[in-house]
Amino acid sequence: MPDGTVMPGMKHGGHSGHTGQTGHDGHDHAGMITDFLRRFWISLILTVPVVVISPMFQHAVGYHLDFPGRDGVSFVLASIIFLYGGLPFLRGFWDEVRRGEPGMMTLIGVAITVAYAYSTAVVFNLVEGMDFYWELATLIVIMLLGHWLEMKSVAGASKALEMIVRMLPAEAHMYHGNMLHDMRVDELKPGDLVLVKPGEKIPVDGTVTEGNSSVNESMLTGESVPVVKTAGSKVIAGAINGEGSLKIRVDKSGKDSYLNKVIALVREAQAAKSQTQRLADRAARWLTFIALGAGFATFIIWLLQGQTFSFALERMVTVMVTSCPHALGVAIPLVVAISTAMSARNGLLLRNRTAFENARRITAMVFDKTGTLTEGKFGVSRIQSLLPQYDNNGLLSAAAALEQESQHPIAQGIVTAAKNAALPIPTVSGFASITGKGVTGEVNGKKISVVSPGYLKEQNMEIPAGAAGSAAETVVFVLENNKIAGFIALSDQIRPDAAEAVRQLKNQGIKVYMATGDNTRVGRAVAETLGLDGFFAEVLPHQKVEIVKDLQAKGEYVAMTGDGVNDAPALAQANVGIAVGSGTDVAAETADIILTDSKPSDVLGLVNFGKATYRKMVQNLFWATGYNVVAIPLAAGVLYPQFVLSPALGAVLMSLSTVVVAVNAQLLRRSLKQKES
């Protein structure tokens, strides 16, 4: 296969360089954030003098400030704040009315319009009373701040997720004739040819046209054994190429690529509404109708009671201002945005927010084994020297000297073990491959070979006692001058954080099971090592579904964690489906949550994050609705004349409720960081 010449940065004629990451939607959202922040600061600056010179505020605080033209100054400043700062809400009000779907913007629009109209009528002596321009101004400023915080948090969630997808290959070696050029993956199109060198990640979904290599596709097969790829074999993006080079024809690109699918998941997570959020939306809608009805009813009732038009109008405006459902409107979106950002930073991509919030209900967790509880790659499990001139370290060092020339997963496992033990790795000369059976060469003046059991059988050499090991192990033999010097056993290693994750899940009352296609002997060994509540071995994909169904029939709320096509049916059946690793299209599309890494501790993080998020949502809903239960009757004047909630105090309470909800949502960051540690 020709290596070609790499020419970085060459553009691929005729291909689009855009992936959708920085499209119009992104620019529009960023522009809206900037616009809201600008409106907030300008309105805040103008609000300060409005508040200071307001007679109602002066009376409430206890000072006196007056000058000729004070009312005119208040009118001009308040008008600018109303028309400029309040414009986004007036537009939203008009849009909701036009669509026939009154909601939060309708109530905000009515409240600030009535407040402005009433105050202006007072200033121009059309009605008697005191203007409350300052309440209008502070109301608009607080709402601008709340919306900016919400939009900023959502933007932060997008950036956090985009940082994760950057960990995937960004470039590929693309053929242009017989030449190679480094090309952005998102600029490739179906039919393009790319070269994947030994040890590199495969950048695209495609078909091998030339070459031979073993590829780690554990996220597809669910098993740790590398898959041999030859011409005609399918490969998936994110898989790790082994010892050979592969020439691949691109099958999927653009919107079908893994990168763009992850970005799509970001948008889905932000746009999707969980049951809790839909509940909040319904509550806000009903509160809008209740507030509008209560406001107009208050106005009519007080007129019928013989009160002045000014008093009745003031009560109506107070109800409108006080009961504005802004706190309820931001109660859930702020928590959603923050939890999405924090989850992304911890490797959780959320496709189904309801499932994420329902993580608190999980009572049984079923793990796939390979690539989930185990590494999905070979590690040295046993070493046995058989000649007196070798100890275990010497045997491993000699084997690593030969295997460092190979990219095969078994070879990499031996070299990694030697490096982790800080062993010297001698130089090798006369290196040669024994086709399909091993490698040989000269190490420290001696002929050393690392071979498979098949080679020993071919040479009629007896396999040493104890070399058989467990069914989970792969054994290679080290020969010195054609004499067996010892053997090295390798197996799929249990992940370092698996035991602790299982222990903490069990501490939370969650039963932990494992379902694997491996044999019973392997399954039992892993289950006993990790202290699982049970395991299911030698299961086929449809049997994993039955395992989940049986647990559900026993009243368990089941989460299934897997990484491949063989896990997809069970992921769909589970109450919460979790796909781990870069995964396959089928697993990702079936799962509710995708973990960008394959660490069991991420599953624990999912449970903890789900609980903390739901708890914060409930707190915000309780405050936002509970506040209105008390505030609306007081604003309407049910305790008059013993107590009358002034428009000023009503605006303060409304603003305070929004601030409390926003601050409480921000505290979720601290709570989730504590969960991380």
DSSP 8-state class, residue 13: T
**251, burial (CB in 10 Å: exposed 0-12, middle 13-18, buried 19+):** middle
Beta-carbon contacts of 646 under 8 Å, excluding residues fewer than 6 positions away, are 56, 60, 318
- 88 contact partners, CB below 8 Å, separation of at least 6: 35, 36, 39, 144, 147
Catalytic residue among 71, 368, 563, 592: 368
**Annotation says 563 is catalytic:** no
Q: What's the burial of 615, exposed, middle or buried (CB within 10 Å: 0-12/13-18/19+)?
A: middle
Helix, strand, or coil (residue 266): helix
Q: Are 19 and 262 a contacting pair, CB within 8 Å?
A: no
**Residue 623: other Cβ atoms inside 10 A:** 17
Measure the CA–CA gap between 222 and 218, rounded to whole angstroms: 5
Give, rounded to a whole angstrom, the gap between the first and last alpha carbons of the chain. 49
Residue 539 has a CB neighbour count (10 Å cut-off) of 21
What is the C-alpha radius of gyration for the chain, rounded to an integer number of angstroms? 34
Non-local CB neighbours of 36 within 8 Å, separated by 6+ positions: 88, 144, 147, 148, 151
Classify residue 369 by its DSSP letter: I
**Spatial distance between the Cα atoms of 359 and 615, rounded to a whole number of angstroms:** 12
Residue type, 268: E
Which secondary-structure segment (H or E) carries 345? Answer: helix 326-345
Neighbours of 113 (CB within 10 A): 17
Calculate helix-pair angle for 104-123, 133-165, nearest 10 degrees.
150
The tokens of 442 are what?
A: 């000269």
Among all residues, which ones are annotated catalytic? 368
